[in-house]
């Protein structure tokens, strides 16, 4: 039997492919893969290219602090109203850098390059211009006011007349980064955040000593570049150590006297975030008032670190990085909110809140929600 011959033009398979579409397809394919590789084709929007996200670890249940009063705070503060900003008329235009309380509970507010003085009742008494880059102020018992500015301390008499001043800094001529000033009798104490210590001067600018250098652990840790302090009638200095989440106590000669506070997100007694407390004040009965950022709140402690009261974040702008503090002779707390440019006053209610439940936002979950919201 004669084998069947292929018809003309059929040939073998390769030959047919070569002659027909194979060369064109090969070239087009090679070109397409070259262009695709060169351009690395853009993925569809929303495509997750790399993800190693892990589910968040479970949050531990809230634990009451060892010293926290069971179920509530011992003392409660209520807002009395605003002295500056808010419903009050005396709004600063662009800045509010600090507040201080002087004799007769007269209030001094620093902002917009000027000082505004208010009677205890809230009426505006005087306004005077100060150096434009002033960062803090303090009022002495004789009514003199001192202003802290980068590398300088300026002194004004009760009428607002400039009566003196001096350069502040180290012996090498580096100017002090002054973030807080306070009067103690006839001395002026100035916090130098750049050098991470407190400088002690007499009224004429002669340096009498340094505070913050004698601790075993080293000087203050200040990630936020801010050092605040207050001094009580006995000369005990309470200063913020924001990186260590502590309030530290010092004698005037620089001897460390102790500290309290630690980081924590679950217990209102602790300090949240990277660096807190940012501001501090001491009341006439020795209680310590702290101001925090991130969860903007004010807390009142016993000198040994037991939490007495808490003024919650609903009273302040959540974007505050400072809550400047001052206290008057009656124990009222004055808080300057630099974002809202508002000075609020809080007065203590009789200590009857022993059995009051913790408000939800001050529980561990509440603090975390507040943190996440901001």
Partner 1 sequence: MSDKSSRRQFIDRSFRIIGFLGIGGAAGVLTKRASSSAVYQIDPFKCTSCDLCRTSCVLSLSAVKAVNDFEKCGYCMLCPAYMDVNSRPDEKGIPTGKVCPQDALKRRVVGRVDLEDPNNNYYEYAIDETRCDGCGKCVKACLPPAGNGSLRLEIRYTRCVECNECAIRVVCPDDAIVRVPVPGMAPTADSSEREKA
Provide the binding-site residues for partner 1, judged by CB under 8 A. Answer: 14-15, 18, 23, 26-27, 30-31, 34-35, 38-43, 45-54, 56-60, 217-218, 221-225, 243-245, 262-265, 272-275, 293-294, 296, 318-321, 368, 371-372, 374
Per the listing, tokens 């509010």 go with 96
**Two tokens at 154?**
């300026």
Q: For partner 1, which is the closer residue by CB, 81 or 225?
A: 225
* Smallest separation (angstroms) from partner 1 to the CB of 178: 19
Q: Which is nearer to partner 1, 188 or 280 (CB)?
A: 280
- Smallest distance, partner 1 to C-beta of residue 271, A: 10
Look up tokens 């004799």; give the residue.
103
Dig out the tokens for 226 from the structure.
Answer: 């801010």
Q: Round to whole Å and give the CA distance between 155 and 178.
A: 14
Contact 353, 72 (CB under 8 A): yes
Smallest distance, partner 1 to C-beta of residue 363, A: 14
Q: List all residues 6 or more positions away from 345 whose beta carbon is below 8 Å from its beta carbon.
A: 79, 80, 81, 82, 83, 332, 333, 334, 335
Quote the least distance from Cβ 2 to partner 1, whole Å: 26
CB of 150 to partner 1, least distance (A): 17
Minimum CB separation from partner 1 for residue 19, in Å?
10
199 versus 297: smaller Cβ distance to partner 1: 297
What is the spatial distance between Cα 307 and Cα 74, in angstroms, rounded to a whole number?
Answer: 8
Tell me the C-alpha distance between 143 and 125, whole Å: 13
For 233-295, the three-class secondary structure string (H helix, E strand, C coil) is CCCCEEEEEHHHCEEEEECCCCCEEEEECCECCCCCCCECCCCCCCEEEECCCCCEEEEECCC
Q: How many whole angstroms separate alpha carbon 79 and alpha carbon 87? A: 13
Residue placing its CB nearer to partner 1 in the complex, 166 or 263: 263
- Based on its alpha-carbon atoms, the radius of gyration of the chain, rounded to whole angstroms, reads 32
In the bound state with partner 1, the residue whose beta carbon lies nearer, of 239 and 252, is 239
Closer CB to partner 1, residue 43 or residue 121? Answer: 43
What is the closest distance, in whole angstroms, from the C-beta atom of residue 188 to partner 1 in the complex? Answer: 28
For the CB of residue 265, give the shortest distance to partner 1 in the complex, in Å.
6
Would you say 276 or 344 has its CB closer to partner 1? Answer: 276
Q: Which C-beta is closer to partner 1: that of 168 or that of 294? A: 294
Q: Answer for the pair 106, 139: CB distance below 8 angstroms, yes or no.
A: yes
Torsion of CA 90, 91, 94, 99, to 10 degrees: 60
| Strand pairing report for 333-337 and 342-349 | antiparallel
């Amino acid at each position: 039997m004669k084998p069947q011959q292929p018809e003309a033009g059929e040939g073998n398979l390769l030959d047919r492919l070569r002659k027909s579409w194979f060369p064109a397809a090969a070239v087009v394919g090679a070109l397409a893969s070259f262009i695709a590789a060169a351009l690395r084709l853009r993925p569809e929007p929303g495509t997750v290219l790399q993800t190693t996200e892990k589910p968040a670890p479970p949050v531990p249940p809230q634990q009451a602090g060892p010293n926290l009063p069971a179920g509530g705070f011992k003392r409660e503060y209520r807002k009395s109203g605003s002295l500056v900003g808010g419903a009050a008329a005396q709004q600063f235009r662009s800045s509010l850098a600090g507040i201080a309380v002087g004799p007769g509970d007269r209030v001094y507010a620093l902002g917009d390059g000027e000082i505004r003085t208010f009677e205890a009742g809230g009426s505006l008494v005087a306004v005077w211009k100060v150096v434009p880059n002033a960062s803090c102020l303090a009022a002495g018992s004789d009514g003199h006011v001192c202003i802290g500015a980068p590398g300088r301390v300026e002194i004004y008499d009760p009428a607002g007349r400039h009566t003196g001043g001096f350069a502040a800094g180290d012996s090498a001529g580096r100017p002090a980064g002054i973030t807080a000033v306070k009067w103690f009798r006839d001395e002026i104490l100035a916090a130098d955040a750049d050098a991470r210590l407190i400088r002690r001067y007499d009224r004429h600018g002669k340096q009498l000593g340094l505070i913050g250098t004698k601790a075993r652990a080293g000087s203050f840790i200040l990630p936020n570049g801010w050092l605040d302090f207050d001094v009580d009638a006995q000369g005990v200095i309470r200063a913020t150590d924001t990186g260590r989440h502590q309030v530290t106590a010092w004698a005037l000669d620089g001897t460390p006297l102790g500290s309290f506070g630690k980081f924590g997100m679950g217990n209102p007694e602790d300090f949240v975030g990277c660096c807190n407390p940012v501001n501090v004040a001491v009341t006439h009965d020795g209680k310590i008032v702290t101001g925090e950022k991130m969860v903007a709140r004010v807390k009142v402690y016993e000198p040994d670190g037991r939490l007495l009261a808490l003024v919650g974040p609903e009273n302040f702008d959540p974007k505050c990085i400072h809550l400047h503090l001052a206290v008057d002779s009656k124990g009222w707390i004055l808080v300057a909110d630099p974002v809202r440019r508002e000075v609020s006053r809080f007065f203590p209610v009789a200590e009857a809140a022993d059995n009051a439940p913790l408000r939800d936002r001050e529980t561990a979950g509440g603090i975390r929600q507040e943190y996440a919201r901001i």
